[in-house]
């Protein structure tokens, strides 16, 4: 099994205010050893968000909602969603997320 490492410039943004100012406990945001948000954090409303300065408005997000993991790429320059995929398991969602980040990096290095 391949270990998936979170990409550079990937940040978690809080989506649910109920986790603010919670002392260290099971409710605190948790990360995997590879740098991803753990499944508990995703289920509590946190999301992975990739925005690199060199992508000129490209955003790639991974979050959990309605019993599915969602991966979406959005281009703010043209105000258009590039894709939005749903997955039943977090590994497939992370693979899609990494693939999208890699393709965005290649596109903007060439351009």
Residues 54-90: tens digit of each pLDDT = 556 889 999 999 999 999 999 988 899 999 999 999 9
Q: Which helix (H) or strand (E) holds 58?
A: strand 58-65
User: What is the Cα–Cα distance from 72 to 97, expressed in whole angstroms?
Assistant: 8
Q: What is the DSSP letter of 110?
A: H
Q: Report the predicted TM-score, pTM, of the whole model to 2 decimal places.
A: 0.75
Structurally, what CATH architecture does the domain formed by 29-110 represent?
Answer: 2-Layer Sandwich (3.30)
Per-residue confidence at 21, pLDDT binned at 50, 70, 90?
very low
């Amino acid at each position: 099994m391949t270990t998936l490492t979170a990409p550079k410039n990937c940040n978690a943004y809080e989506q649910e205010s109920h986790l603010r100012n919670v002392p260290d406990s099971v409710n605190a945001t948790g990360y995997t050893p590879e740098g991803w948000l753990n499944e508990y954090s995703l289920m509590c409303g946190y999301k992975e968000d990739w925005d690199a300065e060199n992508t000129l408005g490209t955003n790639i997000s991974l979050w959990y909602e309605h019993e599915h993991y969602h991966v979406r790429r959005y281009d703010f320059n043209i105000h258009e969603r590039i894709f939005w995929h749903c997955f039943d398991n977090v590994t497939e969602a992370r693979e899609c997320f990494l693939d999208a980040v890699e393709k965005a990096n290649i596109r903007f290095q060439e351009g």
